[in-house]
Each structure stands twice: as structure tokens, then as C-alpha cells.
């Protein structure tokens, strides 16, 4: 993929937002910040975000409420939480309600945090590739369905080296030129 992965860090403490930007400055991520849940949802609605990391305890919308909403509205976004007071109950709720993949405990070691985030780059790349491949497969299935409807007996649909669409109809090959499938 050509675009760098994006990370949205959400916390109501301005100092921590600046610290995280500085800590992740040399990573392959574009780092965005928001000072609360509503601001984070606005960013998520504006553009694709690969990783959402939110403080658990914030005024207004909690981090748990944010990741639960993000799970529904933006299921492809990896969701993580940060908290100063982890408990087994909170962790279980976050996993069950927000499908949180990771917890960070405040205060966190900057080097370990950066390493954990950098390790996500390969996972994000794979997920993006899988989404693209899934979309290609869905288009291929739609094309085959269209071809079967239009030309009953289609056994194979493929592109020729010059870009033409080749339909194999009961052992007869048909070429349809200038057909663009988007």
C-alpha cells in the first residue's frame, strides 16, 4: 500500500497528546489526536483511521463508549485502550463491548509503547491488502453473475493480455472489448 497507516490517539490530557505525538514521531504512522470521544468520532467520520487508542477514563464519553461505537461504525479500525487503573472487569468489558485488541497502562514506557505501535504496521498492511483482495473478489463474483445472466452457460470469465474480457461459453470463447468493470 502507498499511504502510511494512521493512528488516532484520544485523551483529555493535552500534555499526554503532545507526548504521544513526540514519541511516535519517527514511526511509519501519521499520528492524529483528539481531546475527547466526540472529537475522535468526528475524525473517524472524516477519514479512514487504522488504529484508535483512547484513554479509558475521560469526561463526557468514556474510552469504552468510544471504542464500542467505533466497533459498530468503523469495524476495520483496530481499537486499543489506555488506563491508569486497569481491572479485570474493565478489561473484560472493553474486550466484549469494544473488541479492544490491546491495553496500555499509564504511565507507559515510551520505548515499549513506540515498539508496540511500530509492530502494528505489518498487520495493518496485511489487513489493507486483504480488504482490497476481498473487494476484487466481490467484483469478480458480480462480473461472473452478470455474465451468467447475459450469457447462460458461462464457465469462465477472465481478462486477456490486452485487457479484453474473455468469456468461455460451453467451450466457445467470446471476447468483449471496451468493457470496463469498476
Whether 137 and 109 map to the same domain: the answer is no
Q: Is 169 inside a domain boundary?
A: yes
Residue 162 makes CB contacts below 8 A (sequence gap 6+) with none
Same domain, 98 and 52: yes
Where is average pLDDT lowest: 1-15, 89-103, 142-156, 162-176? 162-176
Query: Residue 83 phi/psi, 5° resolution?
Result: -150, 150
Same domain, 57 and 144: no
Name 158's Cβ contacts closer than 8 Å, sequence gap at least 6. Answer: 165, 166, 168
Strands (E), the chain: 6-10, 30-34, 51-55, 78-83, 102-105, 154-159, 165-169, 172-176
150 domain-assigned: yes
> In whole angstroms, what is the distance from residue 106 CA to residue 55 CA?
9
Least confident of 25-29, 53-57, 152-156, 169-173: 169-173
* Cβ contacts of 137-146, under 8 Å, gap ≥ 24: 139/181, 143/181
Give a yes or no: residue 59 inside a domain.
Answer: yes
How far, in Å, CA of 127 to CA of 87, rounded? Answer: 30
Which residue, of 100, 118, 136, is where some domain finishes? Answer: 118
CATH of the domain at 17: 3.40.50.2300
pLDDT in tens, 143-157: 777 777 777 766 677
Q: CB-based contacts of 182: which residues, under 8 Å, 6+ apart?
A: none
Lowest mean pLDDT among 76-85, 111-120, 166-175: 166-175
Residues 73 and 106 in one domain: yes
Q: Calculate the alpha carbon distances from 80 to 21, 42, 141, 164, 168 in Å.
A: 17, 18, 35, 46, 49
Same domain, 112 and 132: no
Are residues 96 and 47 part of one domain?
yes
Whether 69 and 133 map to the same domain: the answer is: no
Q: Report which of 58, 61, 64, 77 is spatially closest to residue 16, judged by C-alpha positions.
A: 58
- 62 and 103 in a single domain? The answer is yes
- Domain assignment of residue 1, yes or no: no
Domain span at 70 = 6-118
**Do 64 and 139 lie in a common domain?**
no
Give the pLDDT confidence score for residue 45 in this predicted structure: 96
In angstroms, what is the C-alpha Rg of the chain? 23
28 lies in the same domain as 110 = yes
Most confident of 60-64, 120-124, 178-182: 60-64
Amino acid at each position: 500500500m502507498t499511504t502510511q497507516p494512521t493512528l488516532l490517539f484520544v485523551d483529555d490530557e493535552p500534555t499526554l497528546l503532545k507526548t504521544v505525538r513526540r514519541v511516535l514521531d519517527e514511526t511509519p504512522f501519521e499520528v492524529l489526536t483528539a481531546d475527547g470521544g466526540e472529537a475522535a468520532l468526528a475524525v473517524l467520520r472524516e477519514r479512514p483511521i487504522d488504529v484508535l487508542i483512547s484513554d479509558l477514563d475521560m469526561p463526557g464519553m468514556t474510552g469504552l463508549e468510544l471504542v464500542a461505537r467505533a466497533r459498530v461504525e468503523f469495524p476495520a479500525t483496530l481499537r486499543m485502550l489506555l488506563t491508569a487503573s486497569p481491572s479485570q472487569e474493565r478489561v473484560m468489558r472493553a474486550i466484549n463491548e469494544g473488541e479492544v485488541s490491546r491495553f496500555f497502562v499509564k504511565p507507559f514506557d515510551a520505548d515499549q509503547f513506540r515498539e508496540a505501535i511500530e509492530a502494528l504496521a505489518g498487520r495493518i498492511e496485511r489487513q489493507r491488502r486483504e480488504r482490497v483482495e476481498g473487494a476484487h473478489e466481490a467484483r469478480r463474483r458480480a462480473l461472473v453473475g452478470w455474465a451468467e445472466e447475459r450469457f447462460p452457460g458461462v464457465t469462465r470469465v477472465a481478462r486477456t493480455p490486452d485487457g479484453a474480457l474473455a468469456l468461455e461459453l460451453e467451450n466457445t470463447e467470446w471476447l468483449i472489448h471496451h468493457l470496463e468493470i469498476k
